[in-house]
Structure 1
């Protein structure tokens, strides 16, 4: 019997014994094509010795830094790279260990900003987020998110200073005959009304994922949406926070997802998964000149901290990963291969009677499953469609990993899988992914009597 508190105590998880490029290797010898990178994490694949060497080199120098007293060269270099990647938008970076920690830090940074600025605005303590988004699993970040299932058991413990507006999800929520610009205007007006309902003088920030990952399955923003929501924030003096933990760092085809919408740079941005590519646990917060300069002119102290923030070994791993991405022009490859992957998935699966939508950006694609493509009625949660597809996927003859999630439609019902392979895949890899996923989906629905 395992001594691990696994994500499910009723499942015997297969053990990984190795990793090589696009593949993870199980103890029974199966080689699984990692078409999801875990949760969109393994952006340069597995077993890259250049990252291993960077970690080993750093371990020989110093393995831990108490950031209360010291800094390290590798932390300074990584933060400089991250700030420079924003072309002058951001001024400083704050490195932590997970996306949830990054969101907690972003929330506190936003609140303290209003105490540091001149004149201070101590009444600002609320946040406006979106329905059916996911921002992390700690109590603060879970309070921010609208993931119904993950919140359900902990609702009495969650913060009451967060309210929500509608998601940006055209497949499900855009009205018949409504244009993109009309839909964006409607969502911006809803945000404006929410500011006025709760009192704009009480709001720290509006928070959103530019491309909603696990909760909705790679739903991208409509062009002009981020700009419109930022304009509402500026109207009321609130900050604009974007959560790019899952969709950022090149995953969407640009280094930052917000670069795809003109004049949509955030005041605060969270980053994570593809920062370290899974080689070490690392995430971060990027803060704009507006935010940092308030601190610099004020107390100069962010009242927050973690024992392992800016950890030198994690910084070394992330710096090596980002160097590989930059030197091999992998963000451009994400864009190129993403276009090819999109075309192949749609060509092979768009007509399947249980595929409702295929959407995404770069190498971040979601496939939503429905019981009826005429009405887009979802399968009930009890059918376990997404998890069933993922479980079948790692068996022979498929041997492919996709990332499953449920609650796509209303937080409980609805299923999707995410395909988010490594940035350095080739056209041949794209063909392998697309044809294997097609066969997997066809075989799953052919073999299962799924209740509708």
Structure 2
């Protein structure tokens, strides 16, 4: 038996998922004692953000006394909700050893080994190794480099330098990850810095791209033919790989793959010796109703990134899953991944992630995601499918998006200057609604197009889903009734 510094007995019998979260220190933080935030560079420099003082399950409690239903789990991060005592306990046990961090260049740690073993086992050993990082963007950077190194190991003069991704994709904030991304609005300020060896093909977006009467099979055939054409344009022996999100998150608002799409795209890649790479940073780790989105159709990637749902917000942690063929090529070549980061494979990160993943398994939360996700779909469509400004309701599991349009018949988006999604978020988080709808733009071409995402914690029950659906419908109706007032 492998020794570990942390007791990982997280049996559901120990305590329930919903725990008491009274913050005994909350009274110590008064408005006068808190810093006013004027030195923090917020994402939006012209906006005042509410101040959070504590959390409990699905809820965040604000300094102004309000309770907010965290309908978005942050950015699809807090998959177990807030203040899960069993995760915090495991983190504290590791902190008590005095070793929250070790330099992975010099040492291993048994708890990190346990986490990686757990993660590989949850792929049914269809992936071979795990590379741990601190964020999804870092995981994408590592993936880009490892994908190139895979070919370089066999041929130092390899011509494989090109990546293919999709037009409205978003793979991270760092320069490499943003360079892979196709999202025009997020790329615009940084275009001079971005890689010029990335080509983009169209997304898999049936709402905006399906022909009248077109079947899934024909739609997928068109998409595969487009990828094949791009390989031929670039030269098949110059392509490193094709990168995609199975269910596109923030960039497009929970647009899922069409059945058969992932398999068809992988077949094109493998026909030409290129890598099939999945970005599951936002949609993975149970969010869509299977632990990995690719498991729904058993389309195993060569490389895969995960992030948000890995640590559930309790620690910053992400990872790259690596297939056997990539591992073997590097092992038989230089024997090392020519990459490294300071804050990777930290024991305290592993303690949190292992606790989160163990609870998902022991509480069968991925099954709950599927069950509650179907109920959420049903209620959203009952309440909003006929709304004149709701163009599309799409998603999987507990990962749902609403796309808003000015003209429903012709799918015409609102102008970007109207900031529809942000205004809907602002209304939702205010009294009397007090929920979070995650806003996004660019789903209709990269600049125009407004959507909000609904991605609650995996612990939600039917009554929670009813609150989410009813309140969301109320927010949407109220907003559009008063839009031109």
TM-score range relative to shorter protein: over 0.9
Q: Give the equivalent residue in structure 1 for 2:449.
A: 414
Q: Give the equivalent residue in structure 1 for 2:310.
A: 275
Structure 2 residue aligned with 1:185, among 221, 230, 235?
Answer: 221
Q: Give the equivalent residue in structure 1 for 2:285.
A: 249
Structure 1 residue aligned with 2:86, among 45, 50, 57?
Answer: 50
In 2, distance between residues paired with 1:114 and 1:34?
A: 44
Is 1:168–2:239 an aligned residue pair? Answer: no
SS of structure 1 residue aligned to 2:410: coil
Asked whether the equivalents of residues 379 and 385 of structure 1 are also in contact (C-alpha less than 8 Å), the reply is yes
Q: Give the equivalent residue in structure 1 for 2:117.
A: 80
In 2, distance between residues paired with 1:374 and 1:154?
A: 35
Q: Give the equivalent residue in structure 2 for 1:315.
A: 350
Structure 1 residue aligned with 2:258, among 203, 216, 222?
Answer: 222
In 1, distance between residues paired with 2:334 and 2:442?
A: 44
In 1, distance between residues paired with 2:187 and 2:255?
A: 21
Q: Give the equivalent residue in structure 1 for 2:7.
A: none
Structure 1 residue aligned with 2:55, among 9, 16, 19?
Answer: 19
Query: How far does residue 261 in structure 1 lie from its aligned partner after superposition?
Result: 2.0
- Deviation per residue, 1:72-108 (Å, 9 max, x gap): 1111111111111111211100110111000000010
Is 1:116–2:188 an aligned residue pair? Answer: no
Q: Give the equivalent residue in structure 1 for 2:29.
A: none
Query: How far does residue 372 in structure 1 lie from its aligned partner after superposition?
Result: 1.5
Extract unaligned runs of 5+ from structure 1: none
Asked whether the equivalents of residues 114 and 121 of structure 1 are also in contact (C-alpha less than 8 Å), the reply is no
Query: How far does residue 121 in structure 1 lie from its aligned partner after superposition?
Result: 6.2
In 2, distance between residues paired with 1:309 and 1:209?
A: 23
Q: Give the equivalent residue in structure 1 for 2:135.
A: 98
In 2, distance between residues paired with 1:395 and 1:12?
A: 13
Q: Give the equivalent residue in structure 2 for 1:128.
A: 164
In 1, distance between residues paired with 2:325 and 2:184?
A: 34
In 1, distance between residues paired with 2:152 and 2:267?
A: 23
TM-score of the aligned structures, taking structure 1 as reference length: 0.98
Query: How far does residue 176 in structure 1 lie from its aligned partner after superposition?
Result: 1.5
Structure 1 residue aligned with 2:72, among 10, 27, 36?
Answer: 36
Q: Give the equivalent residue in structure 1 for 2:14.
A: none
Q: Give the equivalent residue in structure 1 for 2:411.
A: 376
- Structure 2 CA distance for partners of 1:158 and 1:185, relative to 1, 3 Å: same
How do residues 51-66 of structure 1 correspond to structure 2 at under 5 angstroms? Answer: 51-61=87-97, 62-66=99-103
In 2, distance between residues paired with 1:71 and 1:391?
A: 46
Q: Give the equivalent residue in structure 2 for 1:332.
A: 367
In 2, distance between residues paired with 1:384 and 1:261?
A: 37
In 1, distance between residues paired with 2:410 and 2:66?
A: 39
Query: How far does residue 120 in structure 1 lie from its aligned partner after superposition?
Result: 6.0
Q: Give the equivalent residue in structure 2 for 1:440.
A: 475
Is 1:70–2:107 an aligned residue pair? Answer: yes
In 1, distance between residues paired with 2:43 and 2:283?
A: 23
Extract unaligned runs of 5+ from structure 2: 1-35
Q: Give the equivalent residue in structure 2 for 1:343.
A: 378
Task: Report the RMSD for the aligned CA atoms in angstroms.
Answer: 1.0
Structure 1 residue aligned with 2:420, among 385, 388, 406?
Answer: 385
Q: Give the equivalent residue in structure 2 for 1:426.
A: 461
In 2, distance between residues paired with 1:142 and 1:411?
A: 14
Point out 4+ residue stretches in structure 1 off by more than 2 angstroms: none
Structure 1 residue aligned with 2:388, among 353, 367, 390?
Answer: 353
In 1, distance between residues paired with 2:340 and 2:329?
A: 19
SS of structure 1 residue aligned to 2:440: strand
SS of structure 2 residue aligned to 1:416: strand
